[in-house]
Amino acid sequence: MGLAGVEVRPTPQRLNDGTRRRSIPASPATPYILVPHLLNYVDELLSAWLKGHGQGAYRAKQIRHWLFALRADDFQQMTDLSQTLRSELAAEFTLWTTSIVRHTQADDGTEKLLLALADGGQIECVLLRDEVRRTICISTQVGCGMGCVFCASGLDGLERNLTSGEIVEQMLRLQRLLGIDERLSHVVVMGMGEPLANLDNLLPALEEASREDGLGISARRITISTVGLPKPMRRLAEAGARYRLAVSLHAPNEETRRRIVPVGEKIFLADILAEADAYFEVSGRQLTFEYVLLAGINDSPDDAHELARLLGHRTALVNVIPFNPVAGLPYRTPSTTAQQTFRRILEEHGLAVRFRHKKGDAIDAACGQLRRRIQGNAAAV
């Protein structure tokens, strides 16, 4: 597969004429920075550089094709570019800023990557195989600041937002796990982090996912899952509501929600639902509400009735996710009977219900779990 590790280069020395010289030998005292990451704003970086080097704009198309369609791992593989151009590009840009800490595979075809970022942070991303679907689940932040009490991702708080390039890089890394007869078909932004808290970096990355000369995945097959941040939800609706939106409700009333989604102290369910409705007005597509089922907390028949009343007339799909146990957390997965009763009540109220299959359990495919296990073990050594 030839996945290169983190590439760091010596800081280029700035000369008086403003140009940069790269032939400065690295010494231990040299401060190290990343050379420009091509996956951050591919078009902007390439067009400026190609122009400055007297190269035609069509070169950018060739490079894109190698990266997104032909799954090239480095510039040397781009054989319709001259050897000189390939070397110059390799000296100017880095393609990969992450390294694979762990690659796990489950019997059901699920594969998960734990990636180390250039600054040492770790994130996860997952490839799920389901009949002809090839879905990738990507992260948008290192850690998470929302503090949902049942979720492994936020247990240590938020470290930082991912760059756009780091988000694209996850998609390309996962794409490169596919066989040559497989193609990515869906993206779910349900990995670590709150996507709508990093919308500025997420949107350019999703643009690369959906562009014909990017990964070519239709926007309808891209789902953003949010804890329900009203302002950015509005921004997404105003931008055309291109992507599917899944809203994590997890509770049928404010009191229960505050117990399990602390960010909900400042955000009311009514505001979240109003923004979800506004999104639906623009997109016209069925809304999805996610509901993590926690034994004894939000899984009673009363909770189901109240949830159905809350969602009322909406054309909504309720995606129920039975709690996926996280080491060290006191929550429990409801019994099969409790799950079935919850489902039946919602269906009797006319709601469309889907229980998320538990794929990749054996490899800790739920968000934040692999990172925690590995970092926890490392800390224990």
Is residue 227 within the footprint of ligand SAH (CB under 6 A)?
yes
Options 68, 75, 96, 150; binder of ligand SAH; rule CB under 6 A: 150
Is residue 288 within the footprint of ligand SAH (CB under 6 A)?
no
Q: Which two tokens stand for residue 371?
A: 């990172």
Q: Tell me if 271 sits within 8 A of 230, measured CB to CB.
A: yes
With CB under 6 A as the contact rule, which of the stretches 13-21, 73-81, 167-175, 221-229 interacts with ligand SAH?
Answer: 221-229
Q: What is the DSSP letter of 38?
A: T
Is residue 320 within the footprint of ligand SAH (CB under 6 A)?
no
Question: 20-21 and 13-14: which strand pairing?
Answer: antiparallel
Greatest CA separation for the chain: 74
Is residue 292 within the footprint of ligand SAH (CB under 6 A)?
yes
Contacts to ligand SAH from residues 47-86, by CB under 6 A: none
Beta carbon nearer to ligand SAH, 198 or 210:
198
With CB under 6 A as the contact rule, which of the stretches 4-12, 167-175, 219-227, 305-313 interacts with ligand SAH?
Answer: 219-227
Is residue 202 within the footprint of ligand SAH (CB under 6 A)?
no
Phi, psi for 309 (deg, rounded to 5): -65, -40
Closest alpha carbon to 200 in 172, 174, 155, 167: 167
CB of 164 to ligand SAH, least distance (A): 18
Question: 111-116 and 99-105: which strand pairing?
Answer: antiparallel
CB-count burial class (<10 Å; 0-12, 13-18, 19+) for 135: buried
Bridge partners of 151?
none
Closest alpha carbon to 191 in 263, 142, 240: 142
Q: Is 137 among the catalytic positions?
A: no
Options 67, 85, 136, 148; binder of ligand SAH; rule CB under 6 A: 148
Q: Is 124 among the catalytic positions?
A: yes
Pairwise CA distance, residues 244 & 241, whole Å: 7
CB of 126 to ligand SAH, least distance (A): 11
Is residue 201 within the footprint of ligand SAH (CB under 6 A)?
no
CB of 319 to ligand SAH, least distance (A): 8
Is residue 287 within the footprint of ligand SAH (CB under 6 A)?
no
Q: Kindly list the residues in this chain that would bind ligand SAH in the complex (CB under 6 A).
A: 146, 148, 150-151, 190, 194, 225-227, 248, 290, 292, 321, 323-324, 326, 366-367
